[in-house]
């Protein structure tokens, strides 16, 4: 995924001036490196100028943290996959820039944790969505498996937050609801089976008709 495409894909995520600034700086450094290899190419000089202007503009922007609570996941599976790919590429880019020393450790940690939280939310909400669909179709066994997987994912995550705590409570409540529904269904199935067996016995031992 190119830097340009990565920057464009940021529009699918909550506004993040810091990441935009980091990407612009990375693009500027890449353009300068290309110019050193081809110093006589006018297009390279123009690209450097354009990237310098973009970097200066983003550098002047308000870098105040933007809340992610309003981040709404799309229903489209392809869009979700695209967003996940973007987040993974951004995290890899941040790690690369941090290893080069172009961004400091506190900024790297802050941005990586933020992306990690979004990545977790997408994964968990997708599993829950599948569980809800299975539950609505009375596929209780499958629904329970989905919700148990979501709960396991949240519990095992190294960075616990208000989201993980709240979501775990919601899932545990849903699992209790599913367990109750399964008990009712199993009891109904058992009663039906007993009735069928009773009918079979009645059929077997009823007096034979004489012709």
> Rounded to an integer, what distance in angstroms lies between the CA atom of residue 153 and that of residue 203?
53
Q: What is the pLDDT of residues 70-125, one digit of tens each?
A: 677 777 778 888 888 899 999 999 999 999 998 999 999 999 999 999 999 999 99
Cβ-contact 18, 63 below 8 angstroms: yes
Closest CA to 90 of 68, 108, 76: 108
Report the predicted TM-score, pTM, of the whole model to 2 decimal places.
Answer: 0.76
Distances (CA, A) of 5 to 43, 59, 89: 20, 20, 11
pLDDT score recorded for residue 39: 81
pLDDT digits (tens, 9 = 90+) for 28-45: 888 898 888 888 888 888
């Amino acid at each position: 995924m190119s830097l340009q495409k990565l920057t464009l894909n940021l529009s699918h995520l909550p506004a993040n001036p810091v990441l935009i600034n980091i990407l612009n700086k990375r693009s500027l450094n890449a353009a300068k490196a290309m110019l050193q290899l081809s110093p006589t190419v006018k297009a390279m000089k123009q690209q450097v100028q354009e990237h310098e202007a973009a970097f200066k503009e983003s550098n002047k922007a308000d870098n105040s943290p933007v809340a992610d609570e309003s981040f709404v996941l799309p229903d489209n599976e392809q869009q979700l996959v695209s967003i996940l790919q973007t987040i993974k590429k951004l995290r890899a880019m941040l790690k690369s820039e941090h290893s080069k020393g172009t961004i400091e450790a506190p900024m790297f940690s802050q941005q990586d944790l933020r992306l990690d939280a979004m990545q977790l939310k997408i994964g968990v909400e997708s599993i829950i969505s599948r569980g809800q669909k299975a539950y609505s179709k009375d596929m209780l066994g499958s629904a329970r498996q989905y919700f148990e997987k979501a709960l396991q994912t949240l519990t095992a995550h190294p960075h616990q937050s208000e989201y993980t705590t709240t979501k775990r409570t919601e899932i545990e409540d849903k699992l209790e609801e599913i367990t109750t529904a399964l008990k009712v269904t199993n009891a109904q199935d058992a009663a039906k089976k007993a009735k069928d067996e009773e009918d079979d016995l009645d059929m077997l031992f009823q007096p034979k008709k004489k012709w």
